[in-house]
């Protein structure tokens, strides 16, 4: 039996509140579970994360696999930071937003350096296995050029 530590949704319509539960992998999201080890409310300011660390470690030591979201929530709970996912669906703390902003600044410096470097223009190449395009296809005869007005006056 594959055991997972995952979120199950409780609460009413447009009011998501999540429980952190240990359940069989085959059971549905909001279905049967083995044990509730915490809860998470993203609607409070700051987000409420309550997880029984001892029970979480107990289940993980016995082979339960936490989902990515639960891993982030446990990490945030251990640090005392509200929120837990990078997408912001689990809430974002002001401290977390600053860390993300600082991390985004470093790559932009690299992009600016790349933009300043000269780029050599290369002509587009024909895809492999296809002949290069020519001005007139070889199986179509080239139409004769029509005489210009200057040529008609010369005759």
Q: Identify the band that residue 90 occupies on the pLDDT scale cut at 50, 70 and 90.
A: very low
CB environment 83-107: b (16+ within 10 A), e (fewer): bbbeeeebbbbeebeeeeeeeeeee
> In this prediction, what percent of the chain has a pLDDT beyond 70?
51
Q: What are the pLDDT digits (tens) for 91-138?
A: 434 343 333 333 344 444 444 444 555 555 555 565 565 555 555 555
Q: Is 74 exposed, middle or buried (0-12, 13-18, 19+ CB in 10 A)?
A: buried
Average the pLDDT over each of 15-24, 25-34, 99-108, 124-133 and give the range with the smallest value. 99-108
What Å distances lie between residue 121 and 113, 117, 118, 124, 133, CA to CA? 18, 13, 9, 9, 19
DSSP letter at 111 equals H
Provide the CATH number for the domain formed by 3-112 in this structure: 3.30.1320.10
- Using pLDDT thresholds of 50, 70 and 90, give the confidence band for residue 30: confident
Q: Which residue has the tokens 């860390």?
A: 99
59: β partners: none
| DSSP string over 12-40 | STT--EEEEEEEETTS-TTS--SEEEEEE
Average pLDDT over residues 20-25: 93
Bigger pLDDT: 87 vs 16: 16
pLDDT at 37 over 60: yes
Distances (CA, A) of 126 to 120, 132, 138: 18, 5, 17
Q: Is residue 20 scored above 80 in pLDDT?
A: yes
**Which of 51, 47, 15, 12 has the alpha carbon at shortest distance from 35?**
51
Asked whether the whole model's pTM tops 0.75, one would answer no
Name the least confident of 5-19, 105-119, 137-151.
105-119
Contact between 41 and 48 (Cβ < 8 Å): yes
């Amino acid at each position: 039996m594959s055991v997972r530590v995952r979120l199950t949704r409780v609460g009413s319509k447009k009011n998501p509140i999540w429980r952190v539960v240990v359940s069989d992998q085959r059971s549905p999201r909001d279905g049967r579970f083995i044990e509730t080890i915490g809860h998470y409310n993203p609607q409070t300011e700051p987000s409420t994360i309550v997880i029984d660390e001892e029970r979480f470690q107990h289940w993980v030591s016995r082979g339960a696999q936490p989902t990515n979201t639960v891993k982030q929530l446990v990490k945030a709970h251990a640090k005392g930071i509200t929120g837990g996912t990078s997408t912001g669906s689990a809430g974002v703390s002001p401290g977390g937003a600053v860390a993300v902003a600082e991390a985004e600044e470093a790559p932009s410096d690299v992009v600016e350096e790349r933009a300043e470097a000269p780029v050599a223009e290369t002509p587009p190449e024909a895809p492999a296995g296809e002949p290069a395009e020519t001005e007139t296809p070889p199986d179509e005869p080239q139409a004769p050029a029509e005489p210009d007005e200057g040529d008609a006056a010369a005759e």
